Amino acid sequence: MSKSHKMRTKYLMKGLFQYKFTFQVLLFILVVGAVSIYTVYHTSFRFLASRLQGIYPQGELLYMLKTANMILMQRLVFLIPVVIIFGILFSHRVAGPSFHIARFLREVVAKGDFSKEIHLRKRDELKEIAAAINEMTLKLSAVIGSGRKSAELIKVELERLEKDFGSGKNPAQLKTTLSKIRGDLKGIEALSDCKTRSA
């Protein structure tokens, strides 16, 4: 499945999906961070403040709390670009294959070329979908190949019947058989007009 090991240089294959995914991860982290900070303040810091009030002067205690706030905010601000970068890199493992599969279906399969397969990279997601599409194109190729063989057999039979018809053997029956074969042949030829894998 992973014949190609080239590094992708374009990481925003499906920008809207990747931005949305990264925003949701970032929002989740910010909400968890806010809940954690709120919980820490209302439990630990209140408890510590009441215990440390007698030990530290009021101004020093406020300074310690402000310093703790600043450290938390700095860490949170540092975390935002890290989450954005990892969100884009991780979502690329889904967006890249999704883009590749959609392009393969649109540019190859929709045009009737069943001779190619989808090859995803080692760490890409959606490999099961790519494998199912590859299996489907292989089966479609076999069906179309079988249809072509049937069409060839019908053509041979049709030519034989036309010779028999020319020699005067039971014209009404031959004519009925010929029209039936022609109808079947047109259906098979319409099915097999697409490209198939070369045998």
For 66, how many CA atoms within 13 A lie in the half-sphere containing its CB? Answer: 6
Contact 148, 199 (CB under 8 A): no
Q: What are phi and psi of 186, to 5 degrees?
A: -65, -40
pLDDT-based confidence at residue 60 (cuts at 50, 70, 90):
confident
Contact 38, 72 (CB under 8 A): no
Residue 1 in this model has a pLDDT that exceeds 50 = no
CA angle 151, 157, 160 (to 5 degrees): 145
pTM for the complete prediction?
Answer: 0.56
Residue 132 in this model has a pLDDT that exceeds 70 = yes
Give the per-residue pLDDT at 194. 53
**Domain map of the chain by residue range?**
15-111, 118-199
